Chains A and B, each alone.
Chain A
Amino acid sequence: MDWEIIVGKSSSGIEFNMADLEQFQQETRDWLEENCPKAMRKPMRAESDACWGGRNFEFQSEDQRNWLKLMGEKGWTAPEWPSEYGGGGLSREQSKILKKEMARISARPPLQSFGIWMLGPALLKFGSEEQKKEYLPPIVRGEIRWCQGYSEPGAGSDLASLQTRCEDKGDHYLINGQKVWTSYADRADWIFCLVRTNREARKHLGISFVLFDMASKGVSTKPITLISGKSPFCETFFDDVKVPKENLVGTLDRGWDIAKYLLTHEREMIGGSGGSAFGARGLGEVAVSALGADDDGQLSDTALRAKIATAELDGWAFLLTMERTKDEAKAGQGIGARSSMLKYYGTELNKRRFELMMASKGLSALEWEGEASNEGELPRAWLRTKGNSIEGGTSEVQLNIISKRILGLPDPKVV
């Protein structure tokens, strides 16, 4: 019968059919109804509403703490990770249902986590069985908060030239050096870090991927203030930090493979921000409510209207492209270097959108302090977008990647 068509396969190999999915949906709905606290059923208003978990996290409320605890126990903070590592063990279809059911009641994400977004996928692909067993479950439960140690003062776009030294001292590694742009380094419990383990080899072949506790002796951090004001970014210093040798992930000197894999992930996340500015209100609507419309409901400022129309057209076409890329990935065509396209176009588009948002709000967009402007929320957000096309690989680096990997254009001749 039709409804018995196999529609999904979980990572544990169990097959699901339509009837099972319907049952799963009902059970999920019931469970959420019963367990999601009322206070967690409204959208986050600000970054401060987000739950990051970790050893030192100050929960905003008991509801926030409980919501994380309940979801973590079910593994639904990482729905598609295998259940033996604490994940939800859900198939893609089930995971979509969970997402839909959470959206139905406007449930907040129980946890924001670099562990889930970045380290987890890397460990699942490159980690040893012991590492998966040790590190993944506390990530799922939100007990350990991770940060990422990639960029250095002398290694930005040319990340592979990083110099943080990691020496083999027999029974441990000794790490010395400096990272920069480490998000939330001052609040994270552990770091996943790229270090140089071989100074003789070519630059890509002497890098390793190690994990260590930020409470280790010799680790210190210093927050960075951006043009937009406070930021999660830090400078991070390592001064004779001792790291157990079993904390190496994958093969010694081959950490670049892991780094590349993770950078692809990061690009998709940042590229996706081109869509986030869409929200419920389009740019045009913002401009009409700020500047007024003519009798036909058209924005009175016709030159601005034309610019906004172009940005909206591009925004829609870009959103459709993100959707299509996901659909193609599901159909097995993979994303690969096309994540560079999403990153490049999404961040550049976001910058354009915020320029127009600033223009639409006129002088009021310049208010930097005070309640009316929510302490300068718009101009700070506008300034912050300037970093989107720098972090995670600059727009220029993305264009280089597209030229080489997708278009197959020859390497520039080194003079």
Chain B
Amino acid sequence: MALVYTEEQEMVRDSAKGFLAEKASVSVFRKMRDAADSLGWSRALWVEMAEMGWAGILVEEQYGGLDFGMTGAALILEEMGKNLTASPFLSSAVMASQVLRGASEAQKQAWLPKMVSGEAIIALALDEGIKHDPAGSQLQAEKLGNGYRLKGSKTYIIDGFEADGYLVLARTDGEAGDKEGLSLFLVDARAKGISTSSTKLLDSRNYAGAKFDNVEVSGGDLIGEAGKGLDALEPALNAGRIGLAAEMLGASAQCFESSMEYLKDRSQFGQKIGSFQGLQHRSAHLYCELELVRSAVIKAGQDFEASAEHSGMIASLAKAKSGEVAILAANEGVQMLGGIGMTDEHDMGLYMKRIRAAQELLGDYAFHANRFAKWRGF
């Protein structure tokens, strides 16, 4: 398949560009940050995005979605990355929707229409430690009649504060580190025994810690088969990693564009600083790296569309490469802007903070380089 966007995909990008410029630009994000809003995103804006079809962009048509494909979703995330738009698009529309593809009819009926309309969002409660490690989950799911009882806690849940439902990765068998024995439950946030607290990270987005104190769930709340939770999760993780890679591509592209504008505008020693070869060569190198990231992101989207389960290797390539280059783009951005880049008044720092978070979420460079190496047989 040619590594270019289709006309339909370009149209989605254009409409995202227009919408975000008007409703969710960096200044909107900055205001939200200054207001220290604990939700970290706007419900009204999310409903508007849902009206554009975004909340259901990866949901099957019979449940009201567009089933448009990952490449299109990645393009929206890229534009969100450029604008630093905060929304539950990645957590709920991109990731949770993938898990729900493997859910029972009753679960789909109960959740998908509400998700597609923007009324409800579902967050994935996966990690328990300070590095991304789903297989390391210890949260217990004890058998209780036909159902289970969940005991334990999750940390750094993306968009987990005030979410309407949680996909909880719990251990029904084995011990921390085992790939088998994990099960995935879809739990209503109002279930008795769940308590959450907001976790404030440097990027001012919505994160939560959650305690599950003997939360009773039924067998019908299980997604897929008991013990096969990581398999059920794989498409969602791939989607999330490709999504973050796309978001970071947008954020880095924006850092790069601002840097280039500044290099053409700022004068020192009686000339534009962009005429200095010391800065030109670093800029040209960064340009090349960004082109490599775009190729990986496009390929990852296409691979995901061909097979969500088997897109892991290129998803890891995209996440690793995009994270690495995004850090470079942010660092170069602040350095090339000089003093002004260090001020809170300039947006560059906001991008740097978001990029630092996005490259850590769902696995950092080392995590994905390691996975990639295993796939490549070393």
Contact = CB atoms under 8 A, between A and B. Distances in A.
Contacts of A324: 3-4, 294-295, 298
Interface string B286-299: 01100111111011
A406 B290 CA distance: 13
A400 B280 contact: yes
Interface string B79-119: 00000000000000000000000000000000000000000
B274 interface: yes
Contact of A317 (B2, B279, B284, B296): B296
Nearest to B263: A409
A296 B371 CA distance: 12
Query: Which of the four size classes fits the interface of chain A?
Result: 35 or more
A399 B284 contact: yes
A279 interface: no
Interface in B1-40: 2-4
A313 B288 contact: no
B63 interface: no
A318 B292 CA distance: 6
Interface residues of B, number: 41
A313 B321 contact: yes
A63 interface: no
Contacts of A341: 287-288, 291
Q: Considering residues A314, A321, A323, A344, which has the most beta carbons from chain B within 10 angstroms of its beta carbon? A: A321
Contacts of B294: 321, 324
A308 B378 contact: yes
Given A402-B287, A408-B264, A412-B275, A313 B372 contact: yes
B176 interface: no
Interface string B350-372: 00000000000000001001101
B272 interface: yes
Interface in A305-362: 305-306, 308-310, 312-314, 316-318, 320-321, 323-324, 327-328, 330-331, 338, 341, 344-345
B238 to A, nearest CB: 16
Contacts of A306: 366, 369
B321 A305 contact: no
Contacts of B296: 316-317, 320
Interface stretch (A21-29, A31-39, A168-176, A285-293): A285-293
A412 B321 contact: no
B373 A410 contact: no
Contacts of A298: 373-374, 378
B271 interface: yes
Interface in A377-415: 396, 398-400, 402-403, 406-413
Nearest to A291: B378
B291 A282 contact: no
B23 to A, nearest CB: 31
Interface string A269-287: 0000000000000101101
B260 interface: yes
Nearest to B2: A327
Interface in B246-285: 260, 263-264, 270-272, 274-277, 279-281, 283-285
A331 B378 contact: no
A399 B264 contact: no
B4 A310 contact: no
A407 B260 contact: yes
A259 B8 CA distance: 40
A323 B317 contact: no
Contacts of B374: 296-298
A402 B284 contact: yes
A331 B4 contact: yes
Given A309-B372, A314-B292, A409-B260, A403 B317 contact: no
A43 to B, nearest CB: 22
Contact of B287 (A293, A297, A406, A411): A406
Given A288-B377, A324-B4, A331-B4, A403 B369 contact: no
B326 to A, nearest CB: 14
A323 B3 contact: yes
Contact of A309 (B283, B299, B370): B370
A188 interface: no
A309 B370 CA distance: 7
Given A331-B4, A345-B292, A409 B378 contact: no
A410 to B, nearest CB: 4
B320 interface: yes
B378 A284 contact: yes
Contact of A285 (B274, B283, B320, B378): B378
A350 B232 CA distance: 39
Contact of A287 (B283, B287, B288, B378): B378
A207 interface: no
B363 to A, nearest CB: 13
A331 B6 CA distance: 11
Contacts of A328: 4
B254 to A, nearest CB: 15
A179 B317 CA distance: 44
A320 B281 contact: no
Interface in B219-254: none
21 contacts: A282-B376, A284-B373, A284-B376, A310-B369, A312-B372, A312-B376, A316-B317, A317-B295, A317-B317, A317-B321, A318-B292, A321-B295, A324-B3, A327-B3, A338-B291, A399-B280, A399-B285, A403-B280, A410-B264, A410-B274, A413-B271
Q: 8 closest Cβ contacts across the A-B interface? A: A284-B378, A402-B284, A324-B3, A320-B295, A403-B280, A317-B292, A327-B2, A399-B284
Given A284-B377, A316-B296, A324-B295, 17 more contacts: A288-B377, A298-B373, A309-B372, A312-B372, A312-B373, A313-B321, A317-B295, A321-B291, A321-B292, A321-B295, A331-B2, A341-B287, A399-B285, A402-B284, A403-B284, A407-B287, A409-B279
